[in-house]
Amino acid sequence: MRIDRADSEAELLGPPVSNAEIVKVVAGDFEVRLARTAEEIHAAQALRYRIFYEEMAAHPTPEMKALGRDFDPFDEVCDHLLVLDRRRGEGPEGIVGTYRLIRRAAAARIGRFYSSAEYDIQKMIDYPNEVLELGRSCIARDARNTATMQMLWRGIALYAYHYDVKVMFGCASFPGIDPAQHAQALSYLHHHHLAPPEIRVRAVPERYVEMNVLEPDSYDPRKAMARVPPLIKGYLRLGGFVGDGAVIDHEFNSVDVFIVVKTDLVTEKYIRHYERGIR
Protein backbone atom coordinates (compact mmCIF):
# COMPACT_ATOMS: atom_id res chain seq x y z
CA MET A 1 0.00 0.00 0.00
CA ARG A 2 2.05 2.93 -1.22
CA ILE A 3 1.72 6.58 -2.21
CA ASP A 4 4.03 9.43 -3.09
CA ARG A 5 6.17 10.37 -0.14
CA ALA A 6 6.10 13.57 1.88
CA ASP A 7 8.50 16.35 0.93
CA SER A 8 9.91 16.62 4.42
CA GLU A 9 10.68 13.88 6.91
CA ALA A 10 10.38 16.49 9.65
CA GLU A 11 6.62 16.45 9.10
CA LEU A 12 6.41 12.79 10.07
CA LEU A 13 6.78 12.67 13.83
CA GLY A 14 3.78 10.40 14.25
CA PRO A 15 0.30 10.68 15.78
CA PRO A 16 -0.54 11.34 19.42
CA VAL A 17 0.26 8.30 21.56
CA SER A 18 -2.54 8.59 24.14
CA ASN A 19 -4.06 5.33 22.86
CA ALA A 20 -0.81 3.40 23.22
CA GLU A 21 -2.24 0.97 25.82
CA ILE A 22 -5.15 -0.20 23.64
CA VAL A 23 -2.95 -3.10 22.56
CA LYS A 24 -0.52 -4.75 24.95
CA VAL A 25 0.27 -8.46 25.04
CA VAL A 26 3.38 -10.06 26.50
CA ALA A 27 4.27 -13.65 25.62
CA GLY A 28 7.63 -14.83 26.89
CA ASP A 29 10.33 -12.57 25.46
CA PHE A 30 7.92 -10.94 23.01
CA GLU A 31 5.56 -8.02 23.36
CA VAL A 32 3.05 -6.55 20.92
CA ARG A 33 1.79 -3.00 21.40
CA LEU A 34 1.35 0.34 19.65
CA ALA A 35 4.26 2.72 19.24
CA ARG A 36 4.61 5.17 22.13
CA THR A 37 7.28 7.58 20.95
CA ALA A 38 8.60 9.22 17.80
CA GLU A 39 11.79 7.20 18.29
CA GLU A 40 9.82 3.94 18.08
CA ILE A 41 8.03 5.14 14.95
CA HIS A 42 11.37 6.03 13.39
CA ALA A 43 12.69 2.55 14.26
CA ALA A 44 9.65 0.95 12.61
CA GLN A 45 10.24 3.08 9.52
CA ALA A 46 13.89 1.98 9.51
CA LEU A 47 12.78 -1.66 9.62
CA ARG A 48 10.41 -1.00 6.72
CA TYR A 49 13.26 0.58 4.77
CA ARG A 50 15.50 -2.44 5.26
CA ILE A 51 12.78 -4.83 4.12
CA PHE A 52 11.17 -2.91 1.25
CA TYR A 53 14.13 -1.03 -0.19
CA GLU A 54 17.19 -3.13 0.65
CA GLU A 55 15.70 -6.64 0.48
CA MET A 56 12.87 -6.16 -2.01
CA ALA A 57 14.54 -3.53 -4.24
CA ALA A 58 11.89 -0.83 -3.97
CA HIS A 59 12.90 2.66 -5.09
CA PRO A 60 13.37 5.20 -2.27
CA THR A 61 13.30 8.96 -2.55
CA PRO A 62 16.65 10.68 -2.00
CA GLU A 63 15.51 11.79 1.46
CA MET A 64 14.47 8.29 2.46
CA LYS A 65 17.77 6.91 1.21
CA ALA A 66 19.70 9.49 3.22
CA LEU A 67 17.74 8.77 6.40
CA GLY A 68 17.39 5.01 5.92
CA ARG A 69 13.68 5.17 6.69
CA ASP A 70 10.45 4.52 4.77
CA PHE A 71 7.88 7.25 5.43
CA ASP A 72 4.92 9.07 3.92
CA PRO A 73 2.12 11.37 5.17
CA PHE A 74 0.02 8.45 6.43
CA ASP A 75 2.63 7.85 9.13
CA GLU A 76 1.47 11.09 10.74
CA VAL A 77 -2.06 9.85 11.35
CA CYS A 78 -1.92 6.04 11.62
CA ASP A 79 -1.25 3.80 14.58
CA HIS A 80 2.01 1.86 14.35
CA LEU A 81 1.69 -1.69 15.67
CA LEU A 82 4.97 -3.16 16.92
CA VAL A 83 6.32 -6.54 17.92
CA LEU A 84 9.32 -6.29 20.24
CA ASP A 85 11.81 -8.96 21.14
CA ARG A 86 12.64 -7.78 24.64
CA ARG A 87 15.91 -9.69 24.60
CA ARG A 88 17.06 -7.03 22.13
CA GLY A 89 15.64 -4.11 24.12
CA GLU A 90 12.44 -2.66 25.56
CA GLY A 91 12.19 0.24 23.10
CA PRO A 92 13.21 1.02 19.52
CA GLU A 93 16.11 -1.44 19.51
CA GLY A 94 13.72 -4.33 20.23
CA ILE A 95 11.37 -3.82 17.27
CA VAL A 96 11.27 -6.88 15.00
CA GLY A 97 7.86 -6.47 13.33
CA THR A 98 5.41 -3.73 12.43
CA TYR A 99 2.06 -3.00 10.80
CA ARG A 100 0.44 0.31 9.92
CA LEU A 101 -3.21 0.68 11.02
CA ILE A 102 -5.46 3.34 9.48
CA ARG A 103 -9.06 3.87 10.62
CA ARG A 104 -11.71 6.15 9.12
CA ALA A 105 -10.75 9.12 11.30
CA ALA A 106 -7.10 8.82 10.32
CA ALA A 107 -7.94 8.56 6.62
CA ALA A 108 -10.17 11.63 6.94
CA ARG A 109 -7.18 13.67 8.12
CA ILE A 110 -5.33 12.78 4.91
CA GLY A 111 -8.42 12.89 2.71
CA ARG A 112 -8.34 9.26 1.59
CA PHE A 113 -7.21 5.76 2.43
CA TYR A 114 -3.81 4.68 1.16
CA SER A 115 -5.08 1.91 -1.14
CA SER A 116 -7.34 4.33 -3.06
CA ALA A 117 -4.30 5.09 -5.24
CA GLU A 118 -4.63 1.59 -6.69
CA TYR A 119 -8.26 0.54 -6.16
CA ASP A 120 -11.73 2.04 -6.23
CA ILE A 121 -12.49 1.42 -2.56
CA GLN A 122 -15.88 3.15 -2.40
CA LYS A 123 -17.44 -0.08 -1.10
CA MET A 124 -15.04 0.02 1.83
CA ILE A 125 -15.75 3.70 2.46
CA ASP A 126 -19.51 3.06 2.36
CA TYR A 127 -19.34 -0.05 4.53
CA PRO A 128 -21.35 0.34 7.76
CA ASN A 129 -19.43 0.80 11.03
CA GLU A 130 -15.70 1.01 11.43
CA VAL A 131 -13.22 -0.22 8.85
CA LEU A 132 -9.47 -0.66 9.17
CA GLU A 133 -6.81 -0.41 6.48
CA LEU A 134 -3.76 -2.59 7.07
CA GLY A 135 -0.42 -1.83 5.49
CA ARG A 136 3.38 -1.75 5.64
CA SER A 137 3.55 -5.22 7.16
CA CYS A 138 7.10 -6.41 7.65
CA ILE A 139 9.21 -8.58 9.96
CA ALA A 140 12.97 -8.56 10.43
CA ARG A 141 14.69 -11.31 8.47
CA ASP A 142 15.93 -13.14 11.59
CA ALA A 143 12.50 -12.98 13.23
CA ARG A 144 10.36 -14.27 10.37
CA ASN A 145 8.49 -17.12 11.93
CA THR A 146 4.98 -18.10 12.89
CA ALA A 147 5.35 -16.81 16.44
CA THR A 148 6.17 -13.26 15.34
CA MET A 149 3.32 -13.21 12.82
CA GLN A 150 0.92 -14.54 15.43
CA MET A 151 1.95 -11.74 17.79
CA LEU A 152 1.17 -9.18 15.11
CA TRP A 153 -2.24 -10.74 14.56
CA ARG A 154 -2.95 -10.80 18.28
CA GLY A 155 -2.31 -7.05 18.26
CA ILE A 156 -4.49 -6.46 15.22
CA ALA A 157 -7.25 -8.55 16.77
CA LEU A 158 -7.30 -6.56 20.00
CA TYR A 159 -7.16 -3.27 18.11
CA ALA A 160 -10.06 -4.33 15.89
CA TYR A 161 -12.05 -5.51 18.92
CA HIS A 162 -11.49 -2.23 20.77
CA TYR A 163 -12.68 -0.11 17.84
CA ASP A 164 -15.45 -2.52 16.77
CA VAL A 165 -13.92 -2.89 13.32
CA LYS A 166 -16.16 -4.82 10.92
CA VAL A 167 -13.89 -5.00 7.86
CA MET A 168 -10.13 -4.94 7.43
CA PHE A 169 -8.61 -4.30 4.03
CA GLY A 170 -5.48 -3.31 2.16
CA CYS A 171 -3.03 -4.38 -0.52
CA ALA A 172 -0.63 -7.31 -0.41
CA SER A 173 2.19 -7.94 -2.85
CA PHE A 174 3.82 -10.46 -5.15
CA PRO A 175 7.51 -9.76 -5.83
CA GLY A 176 8.52 -8.20 -9.13
CA ILE A 177 6.52 -6.27 -11.70
CA ASP A 178 5.76 -9.05 -14.22
CA PRO A 179 2.25 -10.45 -13.61
CA ALA A 180 2.95 -13.28 -16.04
CA GLN A 181 5.35 -14.78 -13.52
CA HIS A 182 2.42 -15.12 -11.12
CA ALA A 183 -0.23 -16.27 -13.59
CA GLN A 184 -1.09 -19.46 -11.71
CA ALA A 185 -1.32 -17.82 -8.31
CA LEU A 186 -3.29 -14.79 -9.55
CA SER A 187 -5.72 -17.03 -11.46
CA TYR A 188 -6.11 -19.26 -8.42
CA LEU A 189 -6.94 -16.26 -6.21
CA HIS A 190 -9.49 -15.00 -8.72
CA HIS A 191 -11.13 -18.41 -9.15
CA HIS A 192 -11.22 -19.46 -5.48
CA HIS A 193 -11.06 -16.34 -3.31
CA LEU A 194 -12.75 -13.52 -5.20
CA ALA A 195 -14.69 -11.30 -2.81
CA PRO A 196 -18.49 -11.41 -2.89
CA PRO A 197 -20.05 -8.53 -4.86
CA GLU A 198 -21.01 -6.46 -1.83
CA ILE A 199 -17.39 -6.08 -0.71
CA ARG A 200 -15.59 -6.59 -4.03
CA VAL A 201 -13.47 -3.63 -5.05
CA ARG A 202 -11.84 -3.21 -8.46
CA ALA A 203 -8.48 -1.86 -9.50
CA VAL A 204 -8.71 1.65 -10.93
CA PRO A 205 -9.09 1.45 -14.73
CA GLU A 206 -5.73 2.96 -15.63
CA ARG A 207 -3.87 0.44 -13.44
CA TYR A 208 -6.08 -2.64 -13.84
CA VAL A 209 -4.25 -5.94 -14.56
CA GLU A 210 -6.34 -9.02 -15.30
CA MET A 211 -5.96 -11.82 -12.73
CA ASN A 212 -8.21 -14.31 -14.52
CA VAL A 213 -5.61 -15.33 -17.11
CA LEU A 214 -5.70 -19.15 -16.94
CA GLU A 215 -8.67 -21.48 -17.29
CA PRO A 216 -9.63 -23.07 -13.93
CA ASP A 217 -8.87 -26.60 -15.18
CA SER A 218 -5.49 -25.69 -16.70
CA TYR A 219 -3.45 -25.68 -13.48
CA ASP A 220 -3.09 -27.61 -10.24
CA PRO A 221 -4.73 -25.55 -7.45
CA ARG A 222 -2.34 -26.94 -4.84
CA LYS A 223 0.71 -25.91 -6.86
CA ALA A 224 -0.86 -22.53 -7.54
CA MET A 225 -1.53 -21.99 -3.84
CA ALA A 226 2.10 -22.83 -3.12
CA ARG A 227 3.07 -19.84 -5.26
CA VAL A 228 0.99 -17.42 -3.19
CA PRO A 229 3.16 -15.29 -0.84
CA PRO A 230 2.94 -16.20 2.88
CA LEU A 231 1.27 -12.94 3.92
CA ILE A 232 -1.56 -13.44 1.42
CA LYS A 233 -1.94 -17.06 2.53
CA GLY A 234 -2.31 -15.76 6.06
CA TYR A 235 -5.15 -13.47 5.05
CA LEU A 236 -6.87 -16.32 3.23
CA ARG A 237 -6.66 -18.46 6.38
CA LEU A 238 -8.52 -15.69 8.17
CA GLY A 239 -11.33 -15.98 5.66
CA GLY A 240 -10.02 -13.19 3.46
CA PHE A 241 -10.94 -12.44 -0.14
CA VAL A 242 -9.27 -10.66 -3.04
CA GLY A 243 -10.56 -7.82 -5.17
CA ASP A 244 -11.00 -7.69 -8.92
CA GLY A 245 -7.73 -7.04 -10.72
CA ALA A 246 -4.09 -6.67 -9.75
CA VAL A 247 -1.95 -3.53 -9.91
CA ILE A 248 1.71 -3.12 -10.85
CA ASP A 249 3.56 -0.97 -8.32
CA HIS A 250 6.79 0.14 -9.97
CA GLU A 251 7.94 2.09 -6.93
CA PHE A 252 7.79 -0.96 -4.70
CA ASN A 253 8.78 -3.46 -7.39
CA SER A 254 5.65 -5.53 -6.84
CA VAL A 255 2.34 -6.77 -8.21
CA ASP A 256 -0.38 -5.89 -5.72
CA VAL A 257 -3.72 -7.53 -4.99
CA PHE A 258 -6.49 -6.13 -2.82
CA ILE A 259 -7.35 -8.05 0.35
CA VAL A 260 -10.54 -7.72 2.40
CA VAL A 261 -11.32 -9.61 5.61
CA LYS A 262 -14.65 -9.43 7.42
CA THR A 263 -13.82 -9.54 11.11
CA ASP A 264 -16.91 -11.55 12.03
CA LEU A 265 -15.24 -14.51 10.30
CA VAL A 266 -12.28 -14.41 12.69
CA THR A 267 -13.72 -12.94 15.90
CA GLU A 268 -13.63 -16.10 17.99
CA LYS A 269 -10.14 -17.13 16.96
CA TYR A 270 -8.34 -13.79 16.87
CA ILE A 271 -10.38 -11.30 18.91
CA ARG A 272 -12.61 -12.77 21.60
CA HIS A 273 -10.13 -15.52 22.40
CA TYR A 274 -7.29 -13.10 23.05
CA GLU A 275 -9.52 -10.54 24.74
CA ARG A 276 -10.58 -13.17 27.29
CA GLY A 277 -7.01 -14.31 27.68
CA ILE A 278 -5.65 -10.95 28.85
CA ARG A 279 -8.43 -9.91 31.24
In a domain, 4, yes or no: no
Strand runs labelled E in 73-199: 79-85, 95-103, 119-120, 130-139, 165-175
CATH assignment at residue 267:
3.40.630.30
In a domain, 3, yes or no: no
Return all residues near 110 (Cβ < 8 A) that are at least 6 apart.
Answer: 73, 74, 77
Q: How far apart are CA 104 and CA 143, in angstroms?
A: 31
| Domain extent at residue 184 | 9-277
Is 100 within a domain?
yes
Does 236 fall in a domain?
yes
Number of domains in the chain: 1
- The answer to whether position 2 is within a domain reads no
Within a domain: 54: yes
Is residue 143 a part of any domain in this protein?
yes
Which residues make beta-bridge pairs with 139? 97
Residues 84 and 90 sit within 8 Å (Cβ to Cβ):
yes
One digit per residue, pLDDT tens: the chain, 279 residues? Answer: 333 333 334 344 444 444 667 888 899 999 999 999 999 999 999 999 999 999 999 999 999 999 999 999 999 999 999 999 989 988 899 999 999 999 999 999 999 999 999 999 999 999 988 999 999 999 999 999 988 998 998 899 889 989 999 999 999 999 999 999 999 999 999 999 999 999 999 999 999 999 999 999 999 999 999 999 999 998 998 899 999 999 999 999 999 999 999 887 665 666 555 444 433
Helix (H) or strand (E) segment spanning residue 221: helix 221-226
Instruction: Assess if residue 138 is contained within a domain.
Output: yes
